Amino acid sequence: MDRESKELQSLGSIGIYKESFKIIFSWRKIFTKITFALILPYTFIFLAYTLVSDILFSNIINNSRLLQDGISSEERVTIWLVKVAYLVFSVIFSLLYTSAVVYTTASFNTTKEPTFKKVMTIIPKVWKRYIVTYLWTFIILFLYTVIAMVFISLSLIFFVLGPLQTSKSSAALFNPGIVAGTVLLIVLVVLYFSGVVYMSTVWQFSWAISVLEDCKGTKAMMKSKALLKGKMRVALAILFEFSIVLMMIQFGFKKMVVEGEKLGMGMWIRVLSGIVCFLLLMQFFLFWMVVQTVFYIVCKSYHHECIDKSLLEDHLEVYGYVGEYAPLKIKDDVQLEQCDV
C-alpha cells in the first residue's frame, strides 16, 4: 500500500480489492501458511456444521413425522450441543485467523514481511480485546432483536390480527386501520433489517480495530463508527458484494454436496464439488480479512490520519516481540498520526 494519502482516501471498493490482491500475491508465502494453519480448520468447521446440521435436522424431522409426537428432549439437547460446539470452535479459529491476517496485512505498510512464528506471537496479546468485542456484538444484537420482535409482535397482534378477528367480513382486508397496521408492520421489519445491516458493517470493522488498536468492546465499535463516516457507502458495497459471494458458495455446497444425493448426483461429483467449495471458501475468508484491513487504512487516510511507516514498523516490532501490549506513547492511535492533507 505504497500510495499517497490523497490517493488512498479516494479508493472505492474496486481499488480496495486491487490493493488486497496486491498484498496477498506479494506476500503469498506467509499468507499461504496462515491459510493452511488457521483458515483451513475454520473453513472445515464452517462447512462441517452445514453438513452435520442438515443431516441432523433431516433425521429429527423424519423421526418426528413417524412418531407424530414432535421433537424429543434428547433431540433438542443434541441440537444445542451441536450449535454450542460450532460457536465455540468457530470463535476460536476466527480469533486466530483474524488476528494473523490483520496483523500481516498491516505489516505490509512497513515493507518488512513478518515470519509466521512472529505472527503467531501476537494472538495471546489481542485475544481478550477480540473476545470482548465479539461478546458485545452478540449482546447488542440479542437485545436489539428482542426489542424489535416485541414491537413487531405487538403491531401484528393489535393492528392486524386483532382487527381481522373482530371483523368477519371479507372486506376487512381493505379496512384503513388494517392497511395502516400492515404498512406499519412492514416499516418495522424493514427498519429492523436495516439496523442489522448497519450494525454488521460497524462490527466487522471493529474486529480489525480490536487487533490493531488498544481498544475493545463498545470503544472499538465507536471507533469503527467514527472511521466509517464518509465511507459508509463503500463499506455497505463491500459487505453486500461479499455477502452475495458467500451465499453463492453456501448455496453451491448445499445443493451439490448436502442435497446432491437427493438430486441424483454421483459420489465423485459431490466430492469434487465439496473440494471446490472448500477451496473457494478458504480464499474468501482470507481475502475478506485483508480487505477489511486495507479498508481500515483507507478510512484512516480519509480522515486525514496519514500513515507514518516508521511509527508503524516500530509498533509492530514491539507488538511481535514484547510479552505485553505496549502502545506508542506518541499517539493513542497506534498505527497512524494526524497530518494535514
Give the SS3 label for residue 253: helix
Burial category of 338 from C-beta neighbours within 10 Å (exposed 0-12, middle 13-18, buried 19 and up): exposed
308: left (phi over 0), alpha (psi -120 to 50) or beta: beta
pLDDT band at 245 (very low <50, low <70, confident <90, very high): very high
Domain for residue 331, yes or no? no
Is the pLDDT at 121 greater than 70, yes or no?
A: yes
Rounded CA gap, 325 and 212, in Å?
11
Domain for residue 338, yes or no? no
Mean pLDDT in residue range 65-89: 74
Give the residue, 167 or 27, on which the prediction is more confident: 27
Highest mean pLDDT among 110-119, 137-146, 264-273: 137-146
Counting the structural domains of the chain, the total is 1
What is the structure's pLDDT at 79? 79
pLDDT band at 127 (very low <50, low <70, confident <90, very high): confident
What is the structure's pLDDT at 321? 44
Q: Give the domain extent around 293.
A: 5-321
Domain for residue 160, yes or no? yes
Cell digits of residue 51: 453438513
Rounded CA gap, 105 and 297, in Å?
10
What is the structure's pLDDT at 69? 58
Domain for residue 329, yes or no? no
Percentage of the chain modeled with pLDDT above 70? 76
Domain for residue 197, yes or no? yes
Instruction: Confirm if 92 and 46 have CB atoms less than 8 A apart.
Output: no
Domain for residue 339, yes or no? no
Give the SS3 label for residue 336: strand
pLDDT band at 327 (very low <50, low <70, confident <90, very high): very low
Domain for residue 59, yes or no? yes
**8-11: which pairs have CB atoms within 8 A and are 24 or more residues apart?**
8/297, 8/298, 8/301, 8/302, 8/307, 9/298, 9/301, 9/302, 9/341, 11/298
